[in-house]
Structure 1
Amino acid sequence: MLKHHLFQQALPVLEQIEKAGFEAYFVGGCVRDALLGKDISDVDIATSAFPQEVKHIFKKTVDVGIEHGTVMVLFNDNTYEVTTFRTESTYQDFRRPDKVEFVRSLEEDLKRRDFTINALAMDRRGHLYDFHNGQVDLHHQCIRAVGCAHERFHEDALRMMRAVRFAGQLGFEIDDKTQEGIEKNAHLLKKIAVERIQVEWEKLMMSSFKKNGIDIFLKTGLYRYCPEFAEHKDALQRLGNDVFVLETDAMYWTILLYYMGIKDTDAKQVLKSWKLSNQLIDDVSILLRILFFRKERDWTVDDLFQIGKRLSVQGETLAYLLCLTSEKTEVADLYDALPIKTVKDLALNGKEIMALLQQETGGKYLGELIEKIRVNVLHSVLENNKEELTRFVKENRE
């Protein structure tokens, strides 16, 4: 259990805390994934030491969430989030507790966790602490809320999205009472910031067992409380049924919007409602445009130049997977064969053109002339060398 290098790196942190007279454990997802034999991306540490006591133990710390008991410890060129055992009061906003109380009991701390498979702790000797039968649920591949599901989802409504996301990532089923709790409390998802829902949805959409998770997402009615999804159950189901393994989140969003019947010109509005980045919105809009034109025609050099290699390759992959084209075009080769990839690749730049025309300033004339040169070079009417372009400039001076 402790053989993973991240556990080994973090062991001295636990040892230092114990040496100071406190308890310290690895907790949550890192313990779960270690038990499942999955790779671990980071470790979370919980301790009976209060925040100020943690700060006293280690020379270098950062207060990243000290009001909730979390201190970042800088140790041996690594950073670790160390969180004090705590209990939480009521949650008026269905996301953050009104009050956090620090405690000395690991058992009390694990009671506030979302699911039994995450309510696991392990000490530096590899001994497991499991007060909620999380190991049994791991064995039976079951996602079960700790204690009363209704209470857990009222405390933090995002846990419902986490449940279906785990179902997608792990391929587990959700316990009947836990699923019933999601169905009864699905409307609380409206209380959660879209950005937080988006993170869980994207992880679900890109998960290994997404059909499993999306089926529950639909069955419990969670989809009705996500931006733009309420009227698109069939499109979501179709996405869940897909067996495609795609490279990027943009490709998954593109397929979903295509199934929803969203045109590239309307994509921005839909994606903005999900608070996605401008870069992602632009990428999806371009990929959608590729899907719609690939149904009608082949690639042109103008398409490749304007769109670029990365999105051209992704768009062609999607078009082929969706059977919009009978044969997959090797757009990477077509792009590499372009005589120029950007205007900067032209053998003459703006200053050189101005000098040929004996002009001291640029202007509309210069932009129009450069565009003429770009088009002619791109379409192989002109060769991209100084002599050829100089002749063209002199012949086209006004």
Structure 2
Amino acid sequence: MNINIDIPKNPALAIKMLMNSGYEAGVVGGCTRDSIMGIVPNDWDICTSATPSEIQSVFKSFKQLNIGLKHGTVVIIIDDEEIEITTYRIDGEYSDGRRPDEVAFTRNLIEDLSRRDYTQNAIFFNEFQGIVDPFNGISDIKNKIIRCVGNADKRLKEDALRILRGIRFASKLGFEVEEATKIAMLENKELLSNVSKERITEEFVKMLQGKNAVNILDEFKEIIAYIIPETKAMMGLEQNNPYHVYDVWKHTLAALNNAEGLILKLTMFFHDIGKPSCHTIDKQGIGHFYGHAEVSFKITSEIFKRMKITGAEGVNGKDLKDILELIKYHDTIIEPRKKSVKRMLAKLNGNREQFERLLSVKRADVLAQSPDKLINSLKKIDAIETILNEVLAEDACTTLKDLAITGKELIDLGVPKGKEIGIILNGLLESVIDEKIQNEREELLAEANKYLENK
């Protein structure tokens, strides 16, 4: 097949050295798939007919990392770049539903390609043989199809993580999962109990960021409900409210679709997860979800701990705190008035970026609600943003550190060290935000004296 892949210098050198030593070698997997699709690969996986000891011998003059020898992988260092080279292999039984009990090395490329997960990842290339594509992976790429190599049920039973990998590929690439593979994914979803929380979370986080995430999450909602059971109650829960046209799950997906960046996508996915616990219907038949933001915050906190989400790529502890804070305040009413904006800014500890994120969350939420409420709601959010910029430009006092006095000055007034200092300072801050007093030292001290006199 006349397709050329431009392999970078160091991987190309490794392939050339193996071939000059009499072995077959080339690139395989995600790098060939991405190259065929016109995407620049992040890394290059090399496979070869050479055994691990033969690979070590070919590269005896190079530094090597022998961390994957059990599965036939040798890592060599060329110009400070780590190059993974793996021997063609045949996998044994997968008794744990994750990894082969043993592997046997083979000189046969087709045997190696036949053990791989999806057809798009079973394409081999080197510049001498060109493309080797025994399972029509290129055709599936052109037709935007995710298909297992060989028998889908067998392939997914071998390693349940492949279920989530396939869904993630479909989300990221905008592909469809072919019917036999889809059926096997759904039928084998309970095998995901064999997969570590960290790996599940890693795939889920990547899945959320795909260009086709919303459609794929809905299509495979049974699998999402298996890995995050709290989502099941959202599915089909009608809101019966004039502000909503979707059930809770569909609304969540629509809101997710309106969010940019991982922090906001995670926020929108979980922002209403507490609604099923708060669902009530009044005498007029209108649905309400009083307090759902706080409940969503608590449920998501537990889910994040269980999923070990800070282990996922792109999510750190600070991000987690910010996401939970956004969920907690996503339904808080903010009026387009300076006092209201200052109060919210105070809750966010003066964090401008977080306030702007909160407005993005509110926009994403509104855009997933009833269209006839849309224009006024968006205008209100725009007005709040304008006032936020004014408040920030004025350098207004919205946090304790902005106050013109400190705890030391309260101690000098005779306030004992301890919680009372915090109570007084927070009371003063609230009065400044509400524009009852000015943020000036003498006025603040006078107000503090009134507190002491009325004790």
Q: 2:392 aligns with which of 336, 340, 343?
A: 336
Q: Aligned pair 1:41/2:42, yes or no?
A: yes
Contact 1:227 1:273 in 2 (8 A): no
Q: Aligned pair 1:257/2:257, yes or no?
A: no
Contact 1:304 1:335 in 2 (8 A): no
2:268 is matched by which residue type in structure 1? I
Deviations 1:255-304 (Å, cap 9, x if unpaired)? 22334325334231233333323544432321122221137887431321
What secondary structure, in the 3-state scheme, does the structure 1 residue paired with 2:8 have? helix
Moved more, 86-95 or 264-273: 264-273
Deviations 1:38-62 (Å, cap 9, x if unpaired)? 2322222222333344344052222
CA distance in 1, matches of 2:258, 2:36: 26
Q: 1:316 aligns with which of 336, 359, 380?
A: 359
Shift of 1:178: 1.5
1:383-398 residue pairs with structure 2 within 5 A?
383=439, 388-389=440-441, 392-393=444-445, 396=448
Deviations 1:341-365 (Å, cap 9, x if unpaired)? 76556666667x49x9399x96556
Aligned match of 2:343: 302
Aligned match of 2:235: 233
Contact 2:342 2:398 in 1 (8 A): no
Aligned match of 2:32: 31
Shift of 1:87: 1.7
Q: 1:268 aligns with which of 280, 301, 310?
A: 301
Count of matched residue positions in the alignment of Structure 1 and Structure 2: 388
State TM-score, norm by structure 1: 0.83
Structure 2 residue ranges without an equivalent (≥5): 237-247, 276-291, 311-316, 370-376
Shift of 1:236: 4.0
Deviations 1:307-363 (Å, cap 9, x if unpaired)? 222222122112123228332232762563343576556666667x49x9399x965
Q: Aligned pair 1:244/2:260, yes or no?
A: no
Aligned match of 1:13: 14
Contact 2:259 2:268 in 1 (8 A): no
Deviations 1:151-184 (Å, cap 9, x if unpaired)? 1011011111222222222222222222222232
Contact 1:290 1:316 in 2 (8 A): no
CA distance in 1, matches of 2:145, 2:404: 64
Aligned match of 2:194: 191
1:311 is matched by which residue type in structure 2? Q
Given the superposition, is the C-alpha separation of residues 118 and 237 from structure 1 closer, same or farther in structure 2, using an over 3 Å criterion?
farther
CA distance in 1, matches of 2:398, 2:40: 40
RMSD: 3.4
Contact 1:166 1:213 in 2 (8 A): no
Contact 1:236 1:256 in 2 (8 A): no
Aligned match of 2:280: none
Structure 1 residue ranges without an equivalent (≥5): none
Give aligned-pair identity as a percent. 28
